[in-house]
Amino acid sequence: MRADAAASVALAPLAALDPIGLDELNARAELQTRVDRKYMLPITALPAVLARLPVGTLVLEIDGNRASTYESVYFDTPELTSFLLAARARRRRFKIRTRSYLDTDASFLEVKTRGGRAVTVKDRIPVDPDSTDALTGEARTYAEELLDDAGIADLRGVHLVPTLTTSYRRATLLVPVDGDRAESRATIDVDLAWLDRGHGGRFPTTLTTPGSVIVETKSGSSAGAVDRALWAAGHRPARVSKYATGLAAMRPGLPANRWARVLHRHFTAAPIIPAFPTVTTPTIPFTHAS
C-alpha cells in the first residue's frame, strides 16, 4: 500500500467525529496545565486506537481539512549544541525552529527551552513564510534573549545554521471531560519525512517512515482518554524527538542511546536517500496526501 493511502486509511475514523474550529480549540487549550506524552506506533495500529475514543471527541477542522501539513526547519550550531544537549539528557536544553502551516500560509519562529526545573516552555513569534530558511537579526535576538532568560546557552555571536527539515500531516483531537478526567488534547502525525541539511546543504539526504505514526497527548496531571486507549492497545510512551531522533537516524555516528528503542523499531528499515542539492530553500521531495 502506498504511503499516502496507508495514512488515509489510518485517519479514516476521524471522518465520523464532529469538528471544532481553531479559535475554540486554542481558547479551551489555554485554560489547562498539561503533561505531554509521546508514542510512536505502526500506522496500521492507529484505527484500533481511534476506535476506543470516547463519545464526544472532536477533531480540528480548517477549511474542510481534518489533517494539516506542517514543515519545520531546525537550527543548530555547526557543533550541534542543541542536539547534543538532548542526546546527553542535559537538564537545560533548547530547540530553535521555524514552523510553517502550509495549508494556511502562516509561519512562526519557535524557541523551546527546558530549564532547571525540567519544565518545557515554548515561545514563538510570527515570521515571513518566505524566509523560514534563515534567522533574521530580529529572530536571532528573540532566541538569544529567551535562552538567556532560561539560563541555558549563550549563543550571542554563535553561527546558527539550518540543520534538519521535517514535514508531516497532523490531525488534532479534543477529548471531552470524562468522569473525573479533565478535557485533553492529542495530535496524530503521519507522512513523516526528514531532510538532513548537513554539509551546508551541499549533500542533502532524505528519510521517510511511512509505516509509523507519532501520537502526542496533552492532558492534566492524570492520563487522558487517548493515553488510556493507547495503553489498552498495548502501546506505551516512547522517547522520541522529531529533530534529535531524526538526526540520529540520518547520521549514525551521533550519540543515540536515548532513542535506541525507537530507532530500532521505526527507523531501521527506513532508507536514507540522496536528495538533489539546491541553491535556494530545499523542500522535502515528497507529495503529501490531500
d(CA 278, CA 275): 9
Residue 229 has pLDDT above 90, yes or no: yes
Sign, CA dihedral 79-81-83-85, equals positive
Residue 176 has pLDDT above 90, yes or no: no
pLDDT band, residue 156 (cuts 50/70/90): confident
Segment 186-191 mean pLDDT: 97
d(CA 3, CA 174): 26
For 5-19, 216-230, 244-258, 269-283, which range has the lowest pLDDT when averaged over its residues? Answer: 269-283
For 91-95, 140-144, 216-220, which range has the lowest pLDDT when averaged over its residues? Answer: 216-220
pLDDT band, residue 283 (cuts 50/70/90): very low
Helices (H), the chain: 3-11, 22-29, 46-50, 81-87, 137-149, 225-232, 242-250, 260-262
Residue 289 has pLDDT above 70, yes or no: no
d(CA 37, CA 264): 20
Segment 204-221 mean pLDDT: 90
- Could you tell me which residue, 91 or 86, shows the higher pLDDT? 86
Segment 256-275 mean pLDDT: 87
pLDDT at 177: 78
d(CA 166, CA 193): 6
Residue 163 has pLDDT above 90, yes or no: yes
Has this prediction a pTM greater than 0.85? yes
pLDDT at 245: 97
Contact between residue 36 and residue 217 where contact means Cβ atoms under 8 Å apart: yes
pLDDT at 1: 54
pLDDT at 3: 59
pLDDT at 290: 39
- Could you tell me which residue, 50 or 27, shows the higher pLDDT? 50
pLDDT at 102: 94
pLDDT at 118: 58
pLDDT band, residue 278 (cuts 50/70/90): very low
- Could you tell me which residue, 282 or 224, shows the higher pLDDT? 224
